[in-house]
Every structure is written in C-alpha cells, then in structure tokens.
Structure 1
Amino acid sequence: MRRSALLTGAVMTVPALAVLIAVTSGAASNWPAWPRQSGPAAALNLPSTTVKRGEVRFTVSARGELQGSNSEMMVAPMTGARELIITYLKDPGEQVKAGETVVQFDTTEQEFALAEAEADLAEAEQQVVQAEAETAAKEEETRALLLQAKSDLKVAELEARKNPLLAAIVARQNTLAVEAAQDRLHQLERDIANRGASSRAAIMIQEAARNKAQVKAQTARKNIDSMNLKAKSGGYVNVQQNMNGNFMFWGMQLPAFKLGDTARAGMAVAQIPDLNSWEIRAQIAELDRGHLADGQIAEVSIVAMPDKQFKAHIKSIGGTNGSPWERRFECVFALDNPVPELRPGMSANIRVTTDTVKDALWLPSQALFESDGRTFVYLQSGQSFSPKDVKLVQRSESRVVITGLSEGQVVAMASPESMQRKKGEGSASGALKALKGS
C-alpha cells in the first residue's frame, strides 16, 4: 500500500514537470530583440483603437485640497510648562470674528505664579521703602554729628586763641584739643561718604529684588494672556491634528484636538484661513513638471459645488519627492474668484491646459511602445498586428501626438507578446491545478 502511493505520486509529478518545462520554454521564446508579428488568435483578444485626427489639447489634471492663503496659525505658547491643557476650543468649522477667543489653555499654574510674584513685589516694595527710610535717618544722624564736630572744632579753636595769655601746659592742652577736634571732623567726613555708599547699595539691592518681582509678575501676566488665543481676523476654525503622544502609522488619520487634550509648546492647535485669499495644494506626477510654470491659468471645480466653475493660476511649484517609482511634486494654485460658500478642506479638481495642437494625429498613450530607442505601435494588418515605427511629436499622461500613420488605422492598446505570455501562463497554472486536483 505504501509503495503504491509513492509510485502514484511519482507518476503525477512527471506531467507537472512537463507542463512547467513547456511554459518555461514558451516564456523564453517570447523574449525577442524586436517585437514580432502576432497571429490571429492574439488579434481577436487584443483591445484596440483607431488613429484620430483633430485638435489635441494637452492638459494636466490633479486633485487638491482647498485652504486659506496667509492663514493664521494658532500655536501653544512658550510658557515654560511641558504640556498645556486645553480648557476651551471652538468647534471645527465654526465661524469666528476678529478678537474672539478660539483656544484657551489652563492658566492655574500661571495664576499661582502671578499671585506669588505680586506678593514678592509688594514685599520688595516695602523693603525699598524701609531701606530708603533707614538711609534718610542715618543721613540725618550723620549731619547732626557733623554739625557737632564742627561746633567742637570751633570751640577748641576759640580756646586756643587764649594760649599766649595762658600757662604753657594749659596752652598745650588747648592745642591738643584743637587737633583732636580736627581729627574727629575729618574722620566723620570720611565716614559720611562710606555710610552714604553703603546706604545707596542697600537701596539698590532692595530695588533689584523689587525689579525681579516685577519681571516675574509681568511674565506671569504675559503667559496668561498668551494662553488665550484670539483670532486676528474673521474666518472659520480649522482644528489641527493632535500629534502629541500619538504614534503615526502609514495611512493613519490622527484625531483632531478636542477639549481636555494636552499640547506641547509650539504645536499648532487651530488655524483661521483667510477667506479672501484661497489656495489649493496638489501633488502632481513628475512627468508633467516640464509642462507647468508659474502664472499658468487653471480651471477648478469644487467637488461640493459642482454647479460652479472657478479660475486659478499657478502660485508656486515645489520640489519633487516620493518613491522612485512614483515621483511627485507639490503645486500651489491661487484661486482667482472665491465665493463666501467656500470652506477649508474642500476637495478640488484642477485642470491646466498646457498646449493645443491643431490637425494632429493622436492616440491614447497606452497604444505607444518604446524599446531599444525605437518608438512604435502595433498596427493591425488583416487578422494580425505587427510593429510599426512612428515618430513621437508630443505626449501627455493620457495622449500622444505622432506621425507615420494615417487617420483611421487600427492599433493595439496592449503588446501582443505580453498577452500571449499571460495566456500561456494562465493555461499552465490551470493544468497544474488540474493535476493537483486529480
């Protein structure tokens, strides 16, 4: 029984290998240096089109999103706090007037800092008053001592005038008294200067403490004011995505900010677009970059307003980015005739006419092939298609203008060889499935 099963498996494997070898050989035979003529079977299954003559308008189409130009971006202020809690936030799309509050952050911490700074300021001001009063009292005392020292010197000098009439010892005492009074006066004058400098230094220290408290209080008030974000101009609120603590994955749509969320300093929370200046940002394939330039006119249709048509012009063209197989660049269009019904975030279809060729032969771009530096089409001849060299005049993403054919001729929209290979691969896979099923 076991041997029979093994033999059966070996017998089933032989046809499968034969089919695979046949498919591989057929695939290898379809790798010519130049496309060959295909038979009637390929002609019956190939999609085809005819060569047309007429006016060809080359256009670049794109889809973008409407947003206000010169938009006012409202960001979380730099207050020294790591995170700010949103305590008030206008609803998305809500209309606001100039000066109206849009976002409010929690000011509890800053209000505490303000109260503390104001208390320090009041204490510092009292310290300054006290230092000034003490300085004034010391100066008054010093002036009194100075007057007393001058008076003592005057008395001593008057007594010394009697020296010629007095005994030598008494005269000597009077002279010593004058010298002592002069020394006290000079010392007092020096002390007055030092005491004045010390008093002024003490006052300056207290004034510095007062200025520090004033700065703290002003900073706290400024922080409180900055945490109340007001609109500078009227418009509609466009709430931004909350990227604080949210991990971004490919294709993921982050939630918008809401009441109670936290925001880091510098994060954009809301946007007020300028309703008098609209623009559309679109990502366009790199192939069309050479056909666009600043100032070109564009036709715009808003998806939400299909009955109205708008005009725009290219405002700026950005750099190219994206993967090597899908390179794109950003193009900004300025809307020329906005209306009050427009809203931020509306989708817009854009079409730019880059060139118009009259009396031209043209084909869909899928019907033109290139290989080894040659440009050709598959031209129908009877029941088969054969390659035919043509000259490419101009191309867009959807159409090509060519020469070398006549109007009305039929060409294939796909390569006959690739269709045959696909058909052969389909037959081979079907045979393999049948073998597995048996």
Structure 2
Amino acid sequence: IKELEQCVVRAEKDGLVIYPTAAAWKDTPDITEGATVAREQVLLIMPDLSKMQIKVGIHESMIDRLVPGLEARVTLPGRVLDSKVSTVATITRPAGWWTGNVVKYDTIISLPPAPGLKPGMSAEVEILLALHEDVLTVPVAAVVESDAGSFCWVSTPAGVQRRPIQLGDNNDSFVIVTAGLKEGDQVILNPAGFTDEEEDDPLKQDQDKQEAAIVQETDPAQDTKVKGGQ
C-alpha cells in the first residue's frame, strides 16, 4: 500500500499540465496508459504562465546587431505585446539540408505577464535594432549597389541623372541616405533601364534614354520623393 501511495503525483499548485515532447523518431508519445517509466523520467510539466517567453531563430547576417535589452514587439492572435530581448545564443542551431543550410541563432524574447498566454501559441516578432529620427530615407528599391559604390537615379529638368550616395541603416523598405541627396529629390524606383555603362557619363545618354527619363519622371508609379523622416 505504501508503494502504491508513492505512485500518486500531486501538483503543488493549480495550473496547466503538458506532456514533455517525445523524440521525433518515436511513433508514440512517452506517456501512454500502461507504459513503463524509468527512474527520474519527466512525466508531466507545469509551466509558469507568469514567466512566458518566445524562442526565435535570427539569421547570422543580423546576429551581430542583437544584444539583450533590445525592445521587441510580439504579435499574438488578437493582441500585441511590448517585450524585450532576454538572451542571444553564442552558437548556432544545427544546420543542414532540412533547414536549407540557413544558419540561425536562437534568441529568447521575454514576455510580460498577460492573461490567456499558453505554451505552443504562434507569434510574429519584430525586434527594434535602432531608432532614427529626422533622417533622409529612400526606398530600398531605388538604390543600386556595386563595386563602385551606391547609386540612385534622380529626376531633374535635364533628365535622369545618376547620383552617388552614402548609406546608413536600413530596414526591409527604406534605407537612410547620409550624403548625396537632399529632401525633395525625386528618385527612380527599380532603375534597371539606367544602369548601363554609358550612364557613367550623363552627357552620353542617347535619345531613347532621354525619352525613358521623361516617362519615369512623370509617372507617379515610378518615382517617389525622398522622405525626411522614418
């Protein structure tokens, strides 16, 4: 009877109980009726719902910019939570054909206490790497980078001219321009038709390109004003 009493597991507090994750190669979960258990085997887990966190994989190209304490925005079904980066791994996840050979680092985002959070929920995470105010920006699609430097094509009364520029930080949509443009300049989006070698000298533009420049300049879908803030 005493041994049977020791088989009873009692929770220390109210809460959610989940099964531990079984190995991927197993056909059945570790916990099933009638299964044999081993010494010190984990049977059940009671997560602390007041201390939830999210683990995300960050691409190796961005990992040098991540440090604990950065602000993060976590979007969950029906809500958005302001959070912070807690830890950044120093070694990579195992990479191979199953990951497309993409190298990522596990990063932990600590969540503030919030009702309704449960393990296994899906979320979208945005990490604020830097905040810039009163800066000059252009769309990423307007910039061409090469061994000679960074350039964009600007609409002027004389036609479209190539302009060397210096760049700062960027996100998926915009890049900061630190030199080479001024607010109000109109730049060409996707300037593929202006990247020929003869464009190194604007005076050598042929008539066809001059006509194309006029079309690009007047078509609102093909030009945009440099933004003075982001």
Q: TM-score range by the shorter chain?
A: 0.5 to 0.7
Taking the aligned partners of 2:72 and 2:137, their CA distance within structure 1 comes to: 23
Indicate which of 3, 7, 17 corresponds to 1:237.
17
TM superposition score normalised by structure 2: 0.62
Indicate which of 21, 41, 47 corresponds to 1:273.
47
Indicate which of 310, 315, 319 corresponds to 2:81.
310
- Unmatched 5+ stretches in structure 1: 1-110, 112-217, 248-254, 421-438
Letter in 2 for 1:409: D
Counterpart in the other structure of 2:220: none
- Deviation sequence 1:59-105 (CA, Å, 0-9, x none): xxxxxxxxxxxxxxxxxxxxxxxxxxxxxxxxxxxxxxxxxxxxxxx
Taking the aligned partners of 1:261 and 1:365, their CA distance within structure 2 comes to: 60
Distance 1:411 1:294, change over 3 A: same
Listed as ranges, the matches of 1:44-55 within 5 Å are none
Using the aligned pairs only, state the percent identity: 21
- Deviation sequence 1:17-47 (CA, Å, 0-9, x none): xxxxxxxxxxxxxxxxxxxxxxxxxxxxxxx
1:288–1:396 CA contact under 8 A, matched in 2: no
Listed as ranges, the matches of 1:250-289 within 5 Å are 259-260=32-33, 262=35, 265=38, 270-289=44-63
1:241–1:269 CA contact under 8 A, matched in 2: no
* 1:405 maps onto 2:177 in alignment: no
TM superposition score normalised by structure 1: 0.36
Letter in 2 for 1:317: V
- Relative to its length, the structure with more helix (as a share) is 1
- Unmatched 5+ stretches in structure 2: 197-230
Indicate which of 81, 105, 118 corresponds to 1:343.
118
Counterpart in the other structure of 1:39: none
Counterpart in the other structure of 1:376: 151
Cα distance, 1:297 vs structure 2: 2.9
Q: Highest Rg: 1 or 2? A: 1
Cα distance, 1:376 vs structure 2: 1.6
Counterpart in the other structure of 1:11: none
Listed as ranges, the matches of 1:166-181 within 5 Å are none
Distance 1:245 1:371, change over 3 A: closer
Taking the aligned partners of 1:383 and 1:268, their CA distance within structure 2 comes to: 75
Distance 1:404 1:418, change over 3 A: closer
Cα distance, 1:229 vs structure 2: 5.1
- Deviation sequence 1:163-191 (CA, Å, 0-9, x none): xxxxxxxxxxxxxxxxxxxxxxxxxxxxx
Taking the aligned partners of 2:42 and 2:161, their CA distance within structure 1 comes to: 61
Distance 1:271 1:292, change over 3 A: same
Letter in 2 for 1:280: I
Taking the aligned partners of 1:417 and 1:325, their CA distance within structure 2 comes to: 34
2:31–2:43 CA contact under 8 A, matched in 1: no
Tell me: higher relative CO, structure 1 or 2? Use CA pairs within 8 A at least 6 residues apart: 1
Counterpart in the other structure of 2:171: 396
SS of aligned partner of 2:141: helix
Counterpart in the other structure of 1:320: 92
Counterpart in the other structure of 1:246: 26
Distance 1:275 1:401, change over 3 A: same
Taking the aligned partners of 1:262 and 1:244, their CA distance within structure 2 comes to: 18
Listed as ranges, the matches of 1:206-217 within 5 Å are none
1:365–1:398 CA contact under 8 A, matched in 2: yes
* 1:329 maps onto 2:105 in alignment: yes
SS of aligned partner of 1:315: strand
Taking the aligned partners of 1:385 and 1:267, their CA distance within structure 2 comes to: 71
2:139–2:175 CA contact under 8 A, matched in 1: yes
Distance 1:289 1:385, change over 3 A: farther
Taking the aligned partners of 2:194 and 2:8, their CA distance within structure 1 comes to: 66
Cα distance, 1:379 vs structure 2: 3.4
- Deviation sequence 1:253-299 (CA, Å, 0-9, x none): xx766644857757755432112211111122333323321122333
SS of aligned partner of 1:290: helix
Distance 1:243 1:326, change over 3 A: closer
Taking the aligned partners of 2:60 and 2:164, their CA distance within structure 1 comes to: 27
